[in-house]
Amino acid sequence: MPSPKIIRQLMATFLVALCGATGAKVVIAAPNPEETSPVRAPSLIIAGAPDTDWRAVRPENLLILELPSGPVTIELAEQFAPGHVANVRKLVTQGFYDNLAMYRVIDGFVAQGGDQSGQRETGKAKRTIPAEFTTGAIAADKFNPIPGPDGYAEETGFSGGFPAARDPASGKTWMVHCYGSVAMAREEGADSGGTDFYIVIGSAQRYLDRNTTVFGRVISGMEAVQQLARGNGPGGLLAEPAVNRIASARLASQLPAAERPAAQVMRTDSASFAELVRSRRNRPESWFRYRPDHTDVCAIGVPVRFSGN
Amino acid sequence: MPSPKIIRQLMATFLVALCGATGAKVVIAAPNPEETSPVRAPSLIIAGAPDTDWRAVRPENLLILELPSGPVTIELAEQFAPGHVANVRKLVTQGFYDNLAMYRVIDGFVAQGGDQSGQRETGKAKRTIPAEFTTGAIAADKFNPIPGPDGYAEETGFSGGFPAARDPASGKTWMVHCYGSVAMAREEGADSGGTDFYIVIGSAQRYLDRNTTVFGRVISGMEAVQQLARGNGPGGLLAEPAVNRIASARLASQLPAAERPAAQVMRTDSASFAELVRSRRNRPESWFRYRPDHTDVCAIGVPVRFSGN
């Protein structure tokens, strides 16, 4: 479907063609006020967003990995991948990931961690679980689309703070592979995985959408992920993965209340976020000489803030 | 314009509608053999590409930055930004960048380096030069388009080994901001820059396309760029930029022939690269359960190899 802008341009062209030769005044259809009203710069939108446009990350959805260069916090997306999130919570609370490593790191692609040996006891958790590549469980009013086009999906947008895509025909929704997305690795032939996860550390890897289960995203600490040693072995495996040791993995809900990171994510169904999307499509700052009237689902960035406890 | 696939689907639908009720045999237009013949996995295409599908990087276009974590090699795109490349070559051969720093590093965005003070003598080079946001100098047969859609440009593709976009109406062409793209920073109000450059270190930053001059891309060593310390000051500036020291910047042409990195880039007008694009659109490996029939200009990755001198 042509964008409203293109429709307006076509209408203008049509009216010029219709009226131009006669010199009649060309009347253009009134533009959509929401699209033409001034937007603020992203920094101002984020700084000025009222408290009601933020939500606190639930402690049981806040996963903290301690890597050699510092902590990484991940918000788990239980609405997209309830089975995966439940399994990861069980693994974490059993200390499964402690003293394991990020054993496969390919620059510009992914950093993968977990139980490379496949020998560690999974306890109450499972080593493999059913895939959750897509979900139909998200109500239509919980998905906030952004304008297209997008080559990988019919429709993209956000749901509950996560970048996502949707197939309007089937209603299926899925999280997309942006910088910082966290997904479960899986083996050839299996449609499920359970313990070993990867983090996207370069360009968006949208070709993996619907091929693995995305179950969260990094909300702080990507710089610590980027400091990991890269693997030079086949498939990016490290010869000495212990240099990328995961000292511990904890849910914020396991920590005393006073020690929990007070992470807040901007509500992606808020007026502030809607303005942010518009601002990303056409940056208002005078520095910009070209405005594409477009932004990609992975180029928006859902704002995160941490407040004191 | 609908893709060939969509046109074929529409034709099939039309023929079914036309003939279905009568039970007549439905004749589908023959598919484009190039699109349906089997493709190999990217790793096999790259490994099997004949020598004629690679080109050596010219030594005067190969820039080597020595960063604290190792060397970074950049191919300069003189065909896109001749003025910028000429200026950078002058700066480099004068030792301008030696002992400067990557002074602004924002995770997931860019690492910027150069003369933060603005005090260093530029000698035969200029501190600011005319912008080269777009170029019309690239002949139509030097641009290899890929199928869309792309939200930021009418058309995307590759030219001379670089990811690019083109406006078919004006013929203007420009390099796009992918992971590893190298562009010149500029100030507010100026349409030019001359000394301080940035490297894209996270998601593609396509909203910067046509707002700065992209003049090269990193062909090896992004992992050294990622090891740089991030800036915590306003705008990502480092309090102590010297930790991100640029020990030296040299053109391969300044080095003795035996010491020049033997970098080769896959020809983006080759049969191997055309197959790679098709493979990225629909990965043939059995691991994949979903194939999007699409790839993004920044998701393809122009292969690079280094051979012994």
Assign B35 a pLDDT band (cuts: 50, 70, 90): low
Please report the pLDDT score of residue B139 as a whole number: 73
| Amino acid, res. A157 | G
Q: Are B265 and B54 in contact (CB under 8 A)?
A: yes
Q: Which amino acid is at A46?
A: I
Q: Which residues contact B204 (CB under 8 A, 6 or more apart)?
A: A203, A204, A296, A299, B176, B177, B178, B179, B296, B298
Interval B41-82: pLDDT, tens? 999 999 999 999 999 999 999 999 999 999 999 999 999 999
Closest CA to A77 of A275, A299, A238, A268: A268
Does A292 sit within 8 Å of B206, measured CB to CB?
A: yes
Pick the residue with more confidence: B281 or B27?
A: B281
Q: Of B202, B204, B292, which is closest to A207 when you measure between CB atoms?
A: B292
* pLDDT one-digit tens code per residue, A185-234: 998 866 678 899 999 999 999 999 999 999 999 999 999 999 999 998 88
By the 8 A CB rule, do A175 and A214 touch? yes
How many C-beta atoms surround the C-beta of residue A308 within 10 A? Answer: 4
Of chain B residues 145-204, which have a CB less than 8 A from chain A?
148-153, 178-180, 188-189, 191, 201-204
DSSP reduced 3-state for A309: coil
Question: Would you say B282 and B293 are in contact if contact means Cβ atoms under 8 Å apart?
Answer: yes
Peptide bond into B33 cis (omega under 30): no
- Measured CA to CA, the distance from residue B197 to residue B215 in angstroms comes to 9
Please state, in angstroms and rounded to a whole number, the distance separating the CA atoms of residues B161 and A308: 49
Write out pLDDT tens, residues A90-102. 999 999 999 999 9
Count of CB atoms situated within 10 Å of the CB of B22: 7
DSSP A4: H
- DSSP structural state of residue A169: T
* Rounded-to-integer distance, Cα A181 and Cα A95, Å: 23
* Whether the predicted pLDDT of B18 surpasses 60: no
Joined together, the tokens standing for residue A19 give: 């009226």
Residue A18 scores a pLDDT above 90? no
Closest residue in chain B to residue A203, using alpha carbons only: B203
Mean pLDDT of B2-23: 33
- Sort out which chain B residues have CB atoms less than 8 A from A226's CB and list them: 107, 201, 226-227
A217 in B contact zone (CB under 8 Å)? no
Interchain pair B295, A207: CB under 8 A: yes
Look at residue A291 and give its three-state secondary structure.
coil
CA-to-CA distance for B259 and B280, rounded, in angstroms? 35
Helix (H, G, I), strand (E, B) or coil at A212: coil
State the Cα–Cα distance between residues A250 and A89, nearest whole angstrom. Answer: 9
**Per-residue confidence band for B253, with pLDDT thresholds at 50, 70 and 90:** very high
pLDDT at residue B17, rounded to an integer: 31
What pLDDT band is residue B1 in, cutting at 50, 70 and 90? Answer: very low
Candidates A188, A218, A296, partner chain B, best to mutate (most B CBs within 10 A) = A296
Per-residue confidence (pLDDT) for residue B304, from 0 to 100? 98
Option in A148, A227, A283 nearest B227 (CB)? A227
User: CA-to-CA distance for B109 and A98, rounded, in angstroms?
Assistant: 31
CA dist., res. B214 & res. B175, Å (int): 6
Q: Hey, of B132, B226, B291, B306, which one would you mutate to test binding to chain A, going by the most A CBs within 10 A of its CB?
A: B226
CA distance A230 to A248: 20
What does each C-alpha distance from A31 to A18, A230, B292 come to in angstroms?
A: 20, 51, 34
Tokens of A142: 């919980």
